[in-house]
């Protein structure tokens, strides 16, 4: 298979319809684990956040974390799910050292949330936005596994490893697994829809404040299930499950790659193997993992150590009242309020600047100015230093302070850039940077007038053109004055002074 050339995506979707399924694991940001009081700090020393419960020691009894149940209900509600009046945990039995109990406590036939949907928006093949409804099958509570380190192999993979080392700090951290129903969309849009869905889930988790939802740290992980069926057919093909894809872009690439791989197999009359696949960030390909086998018979049974969870309907309604505005509705509302074009809005979202721009506008800045600074000057600096916009050492309030100085005529846009330099370098507030660096524009008409007179004297030809009515020539004189004032002048006022003298 690896030797054969893949079928290009665009060719593949002429003959086949992709069928997607997405499973997203969200690690909750609770202070403690799902069934015990161990802390959940990321990056702690190995096996320092463990206890008899999460180590599965004999006699230890689990107790459900109330905060995790609350988070699960809120996630379910935000996904437009029904919330179970009563549900149970189940043991998922398997032999693998990442769970010391030899089972993972999960939910099986009684998930806490089920039958929901989210609407995602993607750019259609005609460039117009298309809204796609993703049906949610279920969202259930479970626990994360420990981390394995395979020693002796050159690649850190299991092959060739002499032995494995286990750190159980992560074992037992609350997870919510969100499973979609099968997703069938216009074939060309499948990769984009998968990406948009995961991006929207992340946005939702952040808005709910239930998870850090950091894909790079594994607190939000996506499994991409994909199968192909001949165009127009209703019979589902065999699916592959690409595990732990860890960025939005990778989700899109994984779908794209699996479509091309499945199509090549099907074209050659071969069968698609039902197996897990690993995604490779470096080249966007996947490779075979574990084939489905008898080992996947998990012999689920209800967890006898935990009492059922029965969310009180009144409490569920109370939680519904705490839900943040749905991300897509908020985006639409803000775009309307700000008067952004579709392109401006898409750029703002793409830069991850929505909340920053919103906070800046809330601090009193005009929408277009807020957008201009975050997507221009500040985005450029974030880009230069390779950081996220949100990680820049400047707050929306500080950006608002800079803009307030501009609005008051005390600095201009050009000086503002130097003010940003100072604020980002930790030199203090915008006001302090202006004072310390002497950046204030010269508003003294006397000094400005002198500079204007000198500019007119030095450029008699230009001055004559302006006297003759060619007002656009004033730009050259304004430039000369600004240069003399080292940028510290209000260009509008300079123009007025020039025209007073030559008009």
The distance of closest approach from Cβ of residue 297 to another protein in the complex, given in angstroms and rounded to an integer, is: 6
Distance CA 360, CA 378 (A): 13
Helix (H, G, I), strand (E, B) or coil at 379: helix
Cα 495 → chain centroid = 46
Minimum CB distance to another protein smaller for 236 or for 307: 307
Binding segment for another protein (CB under 8 A), chosen from 29-37, 225-233, 259-267, 413-421, is: 29-37
Binding segment for another protein (CB under 8 A), chosen from 130-138, 144-152, 404-412, 494-502, is: 144-152
Distance CA 334, CA 205 (A): 19
Of 27, 177, 252, 303, the one binding another protein (CB under 8 A) is 303
Asked if 69 touches another protein (CB under 8 A), the answer is yes
Of 42, 46, 115, 218, the one binding another protein (CB under 8 A) is 46
Asked if 65 touches another protein (CB under 8 A), the answer is yes
CA atoms within 13 A on the CB side of 46: 7
DSSP 8-state symbol, 217: G
- CA distance readout (Å), 419 to 279, 361, 432, 502: 44, 19, 9, 34
Q: Looking only at residues 412 through 441 of this chain, which bind another protein when binding is defined by CB under 8 A?
A: none
Minimum CB distance to another protein smaller for 298 or for 487: 298
DSSP for 172-204, written as a single string: T-EEEEEEE--B---GGGHHHHHHHHHHHHHHH
Asked if 59 touches another protein (CB under 8 A), the answer is no
Asked if 323 touches another protein (CB under 8 A), the answer is no
Of 2, 5, 154, 159, the one binding another protein (CB under 8 A) is 159
Binding segment for another protein (CB under 8 A), chosen from 1-9, 34-42, 362-370, 426-434, is: 34-42
Of 7, 30, 198, 258, the one binding another protein (CB under 8 A) is 30
The distance of closest approach from Cβ of residue 379 to another protein in the complex, given in angstroms and rounded to an integer, is: 38
Of 82, 115, 123, 150, the one binding another protein (CB under 8 A) is 150
Asked if 175 touches another protein (CB under 8 A), the answer is no
Backbone angles phi, psi at 284, to 5 degrees: 70, 20
By the 8 A CB rule, do 319 and 73 touch?
yes
Angle at 405 between CA 404 and CA 407, to 5 degrees: 60
Asked if 154 touches another protein (CB under 8 A), the answer is no
Asked if 274 touches another protein (CB under 8 A), the answer is no
Distance CA 84, CA 364 (A): 44
Minimum CB distance to another protein smaller for 312 or for 457: 312
Distance CA 457, CA 314 (A): 81
The distance of closest approach from Cβ of residue 36 to another protein in the complex, given in angstroms and rounded to an integer, is: 7
The distance of closest approach from Cβ of residue 67 to another protein in the complex, given in angstroms and rounded to an integer, is: 4
Looking up tokens 């060719």 gives: 11
Asked if 389 touches another protein (CB under 8 A), the answer is no
Minimum CB distance to another protein smaller for 94 or for 418: 94
**324-344: b (≥16 Cβ within 10 Å) or e:** eebbbeebeebbeebebeeeb
Binding residue count for another protein, defined by CB under 8 A: 63
The distance of closest approach from Cβ of residue 94 to another protein in the complex, given in angstroms and rounded to an integer, is: 9
Neighbouring residues of 162: CB distance < 8 A, sequence distance ≥ 6: 151, 152, 153
Asked if 156 touches another protein (CB under 8 A), the answer is no
- CA distance readout (Å), 410 to 177, 361, 438, 488, 497: 54, 20, 11, 9, 18
Contact residues: another protein, CB under 8 A: 30-32, 36-39, 45-52, 54-55, 57, 63-69, 86, 88, 93, 95-97, 100, 148-152, 157-159, 161-168, 289-290, 294-295, 297, 299, 301-304, 306-310
């Amino acid at each position: 298979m690896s030797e054969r050339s893949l079928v290009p995506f665009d060719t593949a979707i002429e003959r086949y319809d992709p069928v997607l399924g997405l499973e997203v694991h969200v690690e909750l940001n609770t202070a403690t684990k799902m069934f015990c009081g161990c802390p959940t700090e990321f990056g702690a020393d190995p096996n320092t956040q463990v206890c008899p419960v999460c180590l599965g020691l004999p006699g230890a009894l689990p107790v459900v974390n109330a905060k995790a149940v609350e988070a699960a209900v809120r996630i379910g509600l935000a996904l437009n799910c029904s919330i179970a009046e009563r549900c149970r945990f189940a043991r998922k039995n398997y032999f693998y050292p990442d769970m010391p109990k030899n089972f993972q406590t999960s939910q099986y036939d009684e998930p806490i949330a089920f039958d929901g949907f989210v609407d995602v928006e993607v750019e259609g093949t005609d460039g117009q936005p298309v809204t796609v409804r993703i049906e949610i099958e279920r969202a259930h509570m479970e626990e994360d596994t420990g981390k394995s380190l395979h020693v002796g192999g050159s690649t850190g993979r299991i092959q060739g490893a002499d032995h494995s080392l286990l750190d159980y700090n992560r074992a037992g951290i609350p997870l919510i697994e969100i499973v979609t129903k099968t997703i069938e969309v216009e074939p060309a849009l499948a990769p984009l829809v998968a990406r948009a869905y995961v991006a929207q889930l992340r946005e939702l988790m952040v808005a709910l404040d239930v998870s850090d939802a950091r894909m790079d740290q594994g607190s939000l992980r996506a499994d991409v299930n994909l199968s192909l069926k001949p165009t127009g057919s209703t019979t589902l093909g065999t699916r592959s499950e690409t595990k732990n894809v860890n960025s939005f872009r990778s989700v899109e690439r994984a779908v794209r790659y699996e479509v091309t791989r499945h199509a090549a197999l099907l074209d050659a009359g071969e069968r698609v193997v039902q197996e897990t696949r690993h995604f490779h960030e470096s080249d966007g390909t996947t490779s075979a993992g574990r084939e489905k086998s008898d080992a996947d018979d998990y012999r689920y049974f209800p967890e006898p150590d935990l009492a059922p969870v029965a969310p009180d309907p009144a409490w569920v309604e109370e939680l519904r009242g705490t839900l943040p505005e749905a991300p897509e509705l908020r985006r639409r509302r803000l775009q309307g309020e700000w008067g952004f074009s579709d392109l401006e809005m898409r750029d703002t979202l793409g830069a991850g600047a929505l909340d920053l721009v919103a906070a800046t506008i809330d601090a009193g800045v005009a929408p277009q100015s807020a957008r201009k600074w975050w997507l221009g000057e500040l985005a450029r600096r974030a880009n230069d230093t390779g950081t996220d916009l949100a990680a820049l050492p400047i707050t929306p309030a500080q950006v608002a302070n800079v803009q307030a100085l501009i609005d008051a005529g005390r600095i201009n846009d050009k000086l503002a850039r130097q003010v940003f330099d100072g604020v980002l370098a930790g030199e203090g507030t915008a006001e302090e940077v202006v004072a310390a660096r002497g950046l204030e524009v010269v508003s003294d008409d006397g000094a400005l007038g002198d500079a204007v007179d000198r500019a007119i004297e030095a450029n008699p030809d230009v001055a004559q053109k302006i006297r003759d009515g060619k007002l656009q020539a004033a730009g050259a004189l304004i430039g000369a004055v600004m240069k003399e004032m080292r940028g510290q002048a209000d260009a509008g006022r300079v123009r007025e002074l020039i025209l007073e003298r030559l008009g």
